[in-house]
Amino acid sequence: MTNIMDIRPIFRENTDMVKRIFLAVLLLLLPSLVYGKVGKEGLIAVAEDAVGRKVGDYLFTDQDGKPFRLEELKGKPYIVSFNYSSCTTACPLISSTLAIAVKKAMKEFGDSFAVLTIGFDWERDTPERMKEYGLRFTRDFRQWKFLSGDRETIEAITREFGFFYERVGDHFNHLNMVTVVGRDGRIYKQIYGMDLRPGDIIGPLKEAITGKKGFSLFGDFAFFKSLKLLCSRYNPATGQNEFYFPYLITMAFQVISIVTGFLLLWGKDLLRVLSRFSNRLHL
């Protein structure tokens, strides 16, 4: 007696249709599997996409009211941090760490690099306010400049650097990030977090100055770097993307499901092709 729950005959008769449905579902799901999560979890992925990008020339006004163009730094590595002068939490913490890193780097590399802190609140980050903010961290603006720009300039450069910010009332939500730009004017390294250490900045800066890159498993192999980004989630308390193990489990389950479905549908065809290929090799 035939079991009414036995769907194998139906499956065998409609294999081609099942394969087409499987392919259609896979194509619909593939973008989310490849590009990862949407929203704040993807902020660092956007910033990472800017690495290697050539930085354009922008006109700013420095803390003393003088014009300053990025073109003036041609051939010199530099650090960029995006802050807003009325910030009371993340920005001062990042600037404090940056101040320590700059002081240490100057002892080793002198004036072979520059530092730029760019105020992204174009309405309130005037040269006067940027200078007031800057004086909390340095008394010498020759190497470390605090810059103001108009709306068009700020929107363009933050987009180019992959820096996220959004106004919330009188304040901003923003990505906590410091960027190192190389001698060739390309974005070399993005450094994330509110609780940075000076070494986190000095290491990439040294690489940009000397041209000697240190080995990093996640930094030197794109696969591991991408996996780390896709298995991270944004923590607003620290401003960092942190590794989140459940994302890895979910991704592994998705991959196993796809591979299993593929083998069930095309396993025999694949074995047949491999068998023919093997026979030809032995002729």
pLDDT digits (tens, 9 = 90+) for 93-105: 999 999 999 999 9
**Same structural domain for residues 161 and 96?**
yes
Q: Are strands 114-119 and 78-83 parallel, antiparallel or unpaired?
A: parallel
**Same structural domain for residues 92 and 208?**
yes
**Same structural domain for residues 143 and 185?**
yes
DSSP-assigned states of every residue in 142-186: TTEEEEB--HHHHHHHHHHHT--EEEETTEEEE--EEEEE-TTSB
Q: Is residue 217 pLDDT above 50, yes or no? A: no
**Same structural domain for residues 100 and 200?**
yes
Whether 73 maps to a domain, the answer reads yes
**Same structural domain for residues 257 and 166?**
no
Whether 181 maps to a domain, the answer reads yes
What's the confidence (pLDDT) of residue 44? 83
**Same structural domain for residues 179 and 52?**
yes
The mean-pLDDT minimum among 157-166, 187-196, 215-224 falls in: 215-224
**Same structural domain for residues 26 and 73?**
no
Alpha-carbon distances, residue 72 vs 56, 68, 113, 208 (angstroms): 12, 8, 12, 18
Instruction: Provide the domain limits for residue 30.
Output: 8-35+244-281
**Same structural domain for residues 96 and 137?**
yes
Q: Note whether 118 and 149 are within 8 A (CB).
A: yes
Whether 226 maps to a domain, the answer reads no
**Band of residue 91 on the pLDDT scale cut at 50, 70, 90:** very high
The set of long-range contacts for 133-136, using a CB threshold of 8 Å and a minimum separation of 24, is: 133/83, 133/85, 133/95, 134/63, 136/92, 136/95
The average pLDDT across 67-93 equals 95
Chain-wide mean pLDDT for the chain? Answer: 81
The whole-model pTM stands at: 0.67
Domain count for the chain: 2
**Same structural domain for residues 57 and 101?**
yes
Q: Domain holding 104: CATH number?
A: 3.40.30.10
Q: Note whether 78 and 113 are within 8 A (CB).
A: yes
Whether 229 maps to a domain, the answer reads no
**Same structural domain for residues 133 and 263?**
no
Q: Give the residue, 148 or 20, on which the prediction is more confident.
A: 148
What's the confidence (pLDDT) of residue 96? 95
The average pLDDT across 195-219 equals 81
Q: Is residue 236 pLDDT above 60, yes or no? A: no
Whether 2 maps to a domain, the answer reads no
